[in-house]
Chains A and B, each alone.
Chain A
Amino acid sequence: MSRPPVGDWSTDFDHLDPRWIENPYPIWETLRAQCPIAHTERYRGVYFPSTYQDVRAVAYDTEHFSSRRIIVRETPPPRIPAPPITSDPPAHRPAKNLLLPAFTPDAIKRHEPHAREICAGLIDRFAGKPGCDIAVDYAQEIPARIIAHMLGLPDDEGDRFRKWIHEILELGITEPAAVMRAIGESSKYFQAEVEKRRAQPSDDLISYLAHATIDGAPLNEDHLLGTLRLILIAGIDTTWSAIGACFWHLAQHEEDRRRLADDPALIPTAVEEFLRAFSPVTMAREVIKETTINGCPFKPGQMVLLSFPAANRDPAVFPDAERVVIDRKENRHAAFGLGIHRCIGSNLARMEITVALQEWLARIPEFRLDPAATVTWSEGTVRGPRRLPVLF
Chain B
Amino acid sequence: VKVDRGRCQGHARCAALAPELFRLDQLGNAQEIGDGTVPDALIEKAYLAKANCPELAIEVTET
By a CB distance below 8 angstroms, the chain B residues around A184 are none
Q: At the interface, yes or no: B54 with Cβ under 8 Å from chain A?
A: yes
Q: What number of A-B contacts does a CB cutoff of 8 Å give?
A: 53
CA distance A53 to B49 in the complex (A): 20
Q: At the interface, yes or no: A103 with Cβ under 8 Å from chain B?
A: yes
Shortest Cβ distance from residue A345 to the other chain B in the assembled complex, whole angstroms: 11
Q: At the interface, yes or no: A174 with Cβ under 8 Å from chain B?
A: no
By a CB distance below 8 angstroms, the chain B residues around A340 are 9
Grouping DSSP codes into helix (H, G, I), strand (E, B) and loop, the A interface class, with mixed when no group exceeds half, is: helix
Establish whether residues B16 and A268, one from each chain, have CB atoms under 8 Å apart when the complex forms. Answer: yes
Establish whether residues A105 and B9, one from each chain, have CB atoms under 8 Å apart when the complex forms. Answer: no
Q: At the interface, yes or no: A202 with Cβ under 8 Å from chain B?
A: no
Instruction: Tally chain B residues at the interface, Cβ within 8 Å.
Output: 17
By a CB distance below 8 angstroms, the chain B residues around A338 are 9, 54-55
Shortest Cβ distance from residue B14 to the other chain A in the assembled complex, whole angstroms: 11
By a CB distance below 8 angstroms, the chain B residues around A330 are 48, 51-52
Contact flag A346-B48 (CB < 8 Å), given A101-B26, A105-B24: no
CA distance A103 to B9 in the complex (A): 13
* B33-44 Cβ-contact flags toward A at 8 Å (1 or 0): 000000000000
Establish whether residues A339 and B28, one from each chain, have CB atoms under 8 Å apart when the complex forms. Answer: no
Contact flag A329-B48 (CB < 8 Å), given A100-B28, A104-B24, A105-B24: yes
Establish whether residues A346 and B12, one from each chain, have CB atoms under 8 Å apart when the complex forms. Answer: yes
With both beta carbons as reference points, the residue of chain A lying nearest to B53 in the complex is identified as A332
Within 8 A of A (CB), among B5-53: 9-12, 15-16, 24, 26-28, 48, 51-53
